[in-house]
Amino acid sequence: MLKHTRYIIGDLWSMTRALFISRSLKQLNYLMCRAYYGRPRELLSALLCRLAPRPSGYAGVDVSEEVERLRVEGYALLDGVCPPELAARLFRELEHIPCKDPYRPELGALRGDRLPPQTHVAQLEREALIRSKDVMDLANHPKLLAIVSQALNAKPTVLVTSWWSSFAGGEPEAAELFHRDKDDWRFLKVFIYLTDVDQRSGPHVFVPRSHAHRGLEFRRQRRYTDEEVSAFYGDGCQRVFLGPAGTTLIENTYGLHKGLPVQEGRRLMLQFTYSLFPLLYAPERPEVSAAELSGAYDPHINRVHVQP
């Protein structure tokens, strides 16, 4: 009881602090999302979903199996979204985009094929990324939008990112340790391998059903060790995702997850985050106009990237 009381007091303090230190609606939303947990978070997210625009246009796409697996297990592997030939074409296009180490900005602009030995992760320049028709078509793939719209019960907002992971040695850092995402009230992430990924290539790891856990064990927003996760969920609780280029995974990353450190070579990942509201780390204003892109994309879904 004392532990629950301490957390309730902490929640009230976090919410009060969020109101005073927020400099934008995006920051306020982000801080409030981190303050709520368990049943109160679920109730508030359900209310906010009702206020969001209604999804439409996917009546002919049957994704009931994927949506149910997401609901129960917290993840689903998707076939046919990124065929091998598309994955190869995307790799050829994206490998030349400049990138940066988010944890070592002093390194400046980097090349994906010449990453410094200390760099674990290098994020691709987003403006160049979203000018790719293949990337934007994939982010607006009818099957992905149908799954996300039904799972969220709202029309989503997409954020496109991509990054290299490479061998750096040393201890795991940042997202290479287990953690929960609290980016929004409801959100899903799609991970697409653009290189073949085996056990030594830094595969993605998820703990099935951990997205639905309401206990206090993993409430704090911090990194968790394998030992902490195994002590609660048991040995063998981790699902490690291996696969060729084009492997596509949709996941509720409110559940515990991480990317294993690369032991050999490098890995290129493409990620789409589908949320209710624009995320804190989304661009302040759209990077391109609709006239600059050759596809017709839903203005609401693509609002953080594309100016109508």
For the chain, the average pLDDT equals 87
Global confidence as pTM = 0.90
Report the alpha-carbon distance of residue 42 to residue 173 in Å, rounded: 30
Torsion angle of alpha carbons 278, 280, 284, 288, nearest 10°?
-50
In a domain, 241, yes or no: yes
Say which DSSP state 277 is in.
Answer: S
Name the residue range of residue 217's domain: 36-307
Predicted confidence at residue 9, as pLDDT, reads: 54
> The domain spanning residue 157 has which CATH number?
2.60.120.620
In a domain, 70, yes or no: yes
Predicted confidence at residue 168, as pLDDT, reads: 80
In a domain, 176, yes or no: yes
In a domain, 13, yes or no: no
**Residue 17 CB contacts under 8 Å (≥ 6 apart), including other chains:** 31
**Residue 294 CB contacts under 8 Å (≥ 6 apart), including other chains:** 133
Predicted confidence at residue 34, as pLDDT, reads: 76
Token reading at 258: 């991480």
Predicted confidence at residue 170, as pLDDT, reads: 72
Q: Structurally, how many domains does the chain consist of? A: 1
Tell me which residues of the chain have a pLDDT lower than 70: 1-23, 59
Predicted confidence at residue 52, as pLDDT, reads: 84
Helices 64-73 & 142-152, crossing angle to 10 degrees? Answer: 50
Predicted confidence at residue 88, as pLDDT, reads: 97
Largest distance between two CA atoms of the chain? 58
Token reading at 130: 């979203």
Report the alpha-carbon distance of residue 199 to residue 267 in Å, rounded: 12
**Residue 69 CB contacts under 8 Å (≥ 6 apart), including other chains:** 75, 76
Report the alpha-carbon distance of residue 14 to residue 12 in Å, rounded: 5
In a domain, 271, yes or no: yes
Sheet of strand 257-259: strand arrangement: 239-241, 204-206, 257-259
* Residue 189 bridge partners (DSSP): 251, 273
Predicted confidence at residue 38, as pLDDT, reads: 74
Predicted confidence at residue 25, as pLDDT, reads: 77
pLDDT in tens, 58-99: 767 889 999 999 999 999 999 999 999 999 999 999 999 999
In a domain, 26, yes or no: no
In a domain, 261, yes or no: yes
Report the alpha-carbon distance of residue 220 to residue 180 in Å, rounded: 9
Radius of gyration of the chain (CA): 19
